[in-house]
Amino acid sequence: MIVERDSKNIKKIEKLSNLKVGEKGKIVAINITNKIVKRHLLDMGLVRGTVVEVKKIAPMGDPIDLSLRSYELCIRKSDLNQIDVEVV
């Protein structure tokens, strides 16, 4: 976890895969190197500035079910690992 000190307030930057059920985050960077996966996630609405909530976690702990843009999307931890969010 990185804590960035802004001039006004403190931002908590976290990997999206580290969020717990019920926690929300605002996407600040998408670092996915695989072009196909990145485009797919962009198309599904995971763009910078999007607020996502961890809704459910699969019984075996992976993938994770996110709620965003009033629908639910399941993604594996290994991909969420490469997305940075600001915890809100």
Partner 1 sequence: MKIALIGNQNSGKTTLFNVLTGMNAKIGNWPGVTIEKKVGTIKGTKHELVDLPGIYSLSPYSIEEEISRKFVFEEKPDIIINIVDSTSLERSLYLTTQLLELDTRVIVVLNMADMLEKKGITIDVEKLKNELGTDVIKISALKETGINELVDALSKNKTKYELKKYDAVIENELSKIEFRLEKKLLHKKFIAVKLIEGDERFSGYKSDEINSVIDGLKPKYDTDLEEVIATERYNYIDSLKDKVLKRKMVREDISDKLDKVFLNKWIAFPIFVVIMFAIYYLSVGVIGSYTVDLISLLFENIGMWMESTLATLGASEWIVSLVVDGIVAGVGAVLNFVPQLIILFICISVLETTGYMSRIALLLDKLFRKIGLSGKSLIPFIVGSGCSVPGIMGSRIIENQDERKMTAILTPFIPCSAKLPIIALFAGYFFENNSGLVSASLYFFAIFVIILSACIMKKWVFKNTSSTYISELPNYKVPSAKYIFKDVFEKVTAFIKRAGSVILICSIVIWFLLSFSLNLEYGVNVEESILAKVGDKISWVFYPMLGENSWGATVSAIQGLVAKEQVVSSMAVIAGFAENVEEGSSIFGNGENGQGTGIFSFFTAASAYAFMVFNLFSAPCFGAIGAMKRELGGTKKMLKAVVFQTILAWVLAVIVYQIGSRIEMGILSVTDLVIIGIILCIVVAIVVKKEKNKECSGCPYCKDCDKK
Q: Which residues bind partner 1 (CB under 8 A)?
A: 30, 34-45, 47-50, 55-56, 58-63, 65, 69-79, 81-82
Name the residue nearer to partner 1 (CB basis): 10 or 55. 55
Amino acid occupying residue 61: G
Query: Cα(18)–Cα(21) distance, rounded to whole angstroms?
Result: 10
Residue 20 CB, shortest distance to partner 1, in Å, is 14
Name the residue nearer to partner 1 (CB basis): 10 or 20. 20
Query: Cα(65)–Cα(3) distance, rounded to whole angstroms?
Result: 26
